């Protein structure tokens, strides 16, 4: 049995620990907001957070995240009646077109803003370069991230961790 915490709820799973986290989320837990695109860490559609950091769930085995805190798009908003600032900005800027890539885009953007309250264009490029949008909404994504940056809750603990990882 493998235990993980997903969107604040502990889940105990009787599945092969080698199963990619993406399929555990979609098939075992019925959290289908996280999408399958390439299955090879190339498109970003499957992006979720593990302890606040953006990862590709299609290539992350369940065993690698045992005991960890997972957040999916379903858990990004602080509450049902209060969207995450990025979700509000996404609507304001009319970012989604077909929508398929959007949960992955939002999760990568949220991980960026949690560690960088005022990202430059270069910071956004670095953080979002692994998220492909076949509808080509990159300009609106950048605009929405900048618009949300002013109201995003900055997390000093995550920022310190990211600094340590980047310089370690």
Q: Among 134, 154, 157, 165, which residue interacts with ligand FES (rule: CB under 6 A)?
A: 134
The CB-of-76 to ligand FES minimum distance in angstroms stands at 17
Please state, in angstroms and rounded to a whole number, the distance separating the CA atoms of residues 121 and 82.
27
* 46 scored as a contact of ligand FES (CB under 6 A): yes
DSSP designation for 26? I
Q: Is 135 in the site for ligand FES (CB under 6 A)?
A: yes
> Which of the ranges 43-51, 71-79, 111-119, 145-153 carries the binding residues for ligand FES, by CB under 6 A?
43-51
Residue 7 or 23 having the CB closest to ligand FES? 23
Burial of 164 (0-12, 13-18, 19+ CB in 10 A): exposed
Measured between alpha carbons, how far is 30 from 75 in angstroms, rounded to an integer? Answer: 13
Of 147 and 155, the one with the shorter C-beta distance to ligand FES is: 147
Assign 55 to helix, strand or coil.
strand
* Binding status of residue 99 toward ligand FES by CB under 6 A: yes
Whether residue 151 contacts residue 87, with contact meaning beta carbons closer than 8 Å, is answered with no
Is 96 a binder of ligand FES (CB under 6 A)? yes
DSSP 8-class letter at 72? -
Which residues are near ligand FES by CB under 6 A? Answer: 36-39, 41-46, 56, 58, 96-102, 133-135, 137
């Amino acid at each position: 049995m493998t235990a993980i915490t997903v969107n604040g709820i502990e889940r105990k799973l009787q599945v092969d620990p080698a199963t990619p986290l993406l399929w555990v989320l979609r098939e075992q837990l019925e959290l289908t907001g996280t999408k399958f695109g390439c299955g090879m860490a190339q498109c970003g559609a499957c992006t979720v957070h593990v302890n606040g950091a953006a990862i590709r769930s299609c290539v992350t085995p369940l065993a690698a995240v045992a005991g960890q805190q997972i957040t999916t798009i379903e858990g990004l908003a602080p509450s049902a009646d209060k969207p995450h600032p990025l979700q509000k900005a996404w609507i304001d800027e009319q970012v989604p077109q077909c929508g398929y890539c959007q949960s992955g885009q939002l999760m990568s953007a949220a991980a960026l803003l949690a560690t960088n309250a005022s990202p430059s264009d270069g910071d956004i490029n670095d953080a979002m370069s692994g998220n492909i949008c076949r509808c080509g909404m990159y300009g609106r994504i950048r605009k929405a991230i900048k618009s949300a940056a002013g109201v995003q809750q900055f997390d000093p603990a995550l920022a310190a961790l990211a600094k340590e990882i980047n310089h370690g």
